[in-house]
Structure 1
């Protein structure tokens, strides 16, 4: 038995209608070959609409309408069309490749009609045994200013709650909290209900969706989490989805947990494009402001900063890399952890990850996780896990996949078997 501490099973219904922030035609129109691409796209679009109505993903390409994602046909599921589409956009579109690819693979991997089907598919992957336990991270995308998903966050949670009852030992849900969802007391009440009454075992943050983890509305939640030893998992990489709306005074001049304005030097306003500004929300340094008040808080800085930050440190020993920042916090704070999710697709970082797992300083603070199904765009889950396990001996793997997770997940409401 072991744990995968970082997975997702939300499907296309949970994704906002303007997840990309643009229609894909608009993406194409920004490319160097915009005139030719738009000209031929327009000529081809009529044929596509008329002849390929059985492939609703066409609607997604033309309107970024997530309603149709769930209806991808069996032919599309078995074909290489989605991967081909992603590669075409990667080649021509004036946007980071990983972002466009993630959307295309979301169509493919998130095509299932229900979260249960995605979870069952995950459990059946050969790298997992019948008794493997999965931390399932919910995601609140209702406030990312990309339109509303077909099903809102509360509906997403209702499906997860039913699944938890069906798989009480194998599905370990974390409740995503966004401070824009309510005031201090409302957020605390919301968390207590799902954790104490419905069996959720942790809290999930995704600051890149438009908030800072030192938001004063989170203060009571932190007090509760520290007192009850409830684990928190937070997105901590420069990649991933992000807030699409206009930047507000709260973004540019945020307040700390005591509702006081923080030093503006702390926020980098040199780039106000959302794609870049989001790094202010996710910066590992933000958590120092939280940990100064709640030093015993149990929190996992997911992804170890990201493979790009690890590679940057390997090349330059850059102490501003997020990898290095997180590693220092692992040493300084007793209950700060990290995981290798998504990052482990990059084989070039295996050597350093193994060294850290062997380390007396931080080896007990690293968790195994994959970030399924987001990693499907890089490598299939079976190979992802198998390749990483080959680098570690069995003892080291069980250290990050069993012993460390047991310490991290243990709380007043969850006691590992």
Structure 2
């Protein structure tokens, strides 16, 4: 999961997969125990449903045990497939390269604490100073790192200078690491403040069944105030905070991001994975009240197949969007604004 190269890379991949298997066995055991306890407390109909869940769990655990420890690097395979797809559809498929400061081989650290980001930036298209086929970078901080990690700050400096766009997940939901502790460099958001952190970060919530697992890591590692610190250092960084900070309760993150869009020239947001018509209408109110320079920074987004967790299909998603925004508004969100964000206009 953290990448590799050569014999050392193969050893790392094998070790990583062994760790995945070991941790998965622990989680399966906890889940089985929870399901057994739940079955004892419920009626016959519910027990039947729990039995089906246990069967699904057994199938998933068997798949984990069959996880091969061979040479295949799935991350590199996906990278190659994306580039093939982009080459087959020039100008229509514009892939972003996923960034994780913990991934070995993507950063070169000098003896004087300098950080060389060329292994990453070389993957960008020549128009952005690279040698590859990617049009920007994607970040997902709740997976276990801070937006202000020193390696990322070095990358932001390059991206601001060359106009390379970045998209970062920024909502109260989504995915998050299952680790009970992670080594984090940079800053975290704790008790209403952005505070420096350089070392092990412990989590109270990390199990698969813990409903607060994602929320805790989102607050600590992905709060808009952390991104505000990034934008204060790089105000013209072309950054898209995806999902407009949507949360299950309240509008705190959305309000913060909107205020930051007024303040920082490079900050954008998108409306991806906002599936409910009522929520889309709330988002439209922000678009309509925004001054022109801010309105141009709202982007359409889909999150594609993840929407299928909430809707019957993408047709329903698009219909909700069409029924909420006018044709002129859709043209701005889907064509004009994204073109400007990507540097294509």
Q: Which residue of 1 aligns with 2:31?
A: 27
Q: Which residue of 2 aligns with 1:224?
A: 158
Count how many residue pairs are aligned between Structure 1 and Structure 2. 291
Shift, 1:359, TM fit: 2.5
Partner deviation per Cα, 1:321-371 (whole Å, 9 max, x = no partner):
11111111111111100000012x022212222222222333221100110
Q: Which has the higher contact order (CA 8 A, sep 6+)?
A: 1
- Of residues 202, 226, 242, the one that matches 1:302 is 242
Q: Distance in 1 between matches of 2:256 and 2:321?
A: 24
Q: CA RMSD in A?
A: 3.7
Unaligned runs of 5+ in 1: 1-15, 49-56, 69-146, 314-320
Distance 1:64 1:184, change over 3 A: same
SS in 2 for 1:179: coil
Partner deviation per Cα, 1:210-250 (whole Å, 9 max, x = no partner):
000100112221111001111110000121111122314x4
Q: Which residue of 2 aligns with 1:61?
A: 60
The correspondence of residues 127-138 of structure 1 with structure 2, limited to 5 A, is none
Q: TM-score scaled by structure 2?
A: 0.73
Tell me whether 1:282 sits opposite 2:214 in the alignment.
Answer: no
C-alpha contact 2:276 2:320 (8 A) present in aligned 1:
no
SS in 1 for 2:241: strand
C-alpha contact 1:184 1:220 (8 A) present in aligned 2:
no
Q: TM-score scaled by structure 1?
A: 0.61
Q: Distance in 1 between matches of 2:70 and 2:268?
A: 33
Q: Distance in 2 between matches of 1:307 and 1:214?
A: 22
C-alpha contact 1:337 1:365 (8 A) present in aligned 2:
yes
- Of residues 347, 360, 376, the one that matches 2:308 is 376
SS in 1 for 2:158: helix
Partner deviation per Cα, 1:228-274 (whole Å, 9 max, x = no partner):
111110000121111122314x43xx435xxxx99995369896223
The correspondence of residues 257-296 of structure 1 with structure 2, limited to 5 A, is 265-266=193-194, 272-274=204-206, 275=213, 276-279=215-218, 280-296=220-236
Structure 1 ranges of 4+ moved more than 6 A: 16-22, 147-150, 261-264, 268-271
C-alpha contact 1:213 1:287 (8 A) present in aligned 2:
yes
Q: Which residue of 1 aligns with 2:286?
A: 356
C-alpha contact 1:299 1:337 (8 A) present in aligned 2:
yes
Q: Which residue of 2 aligns with 1:173?
A: 95
Unaligned runs of 5+ in 2: 1-19, 110-114, 125-129, 207-212
Tell me whether 1:399 sits opposite 2:332 in the alignment.
Answer: yes
Shift, 1:35, TM fit: 3.7
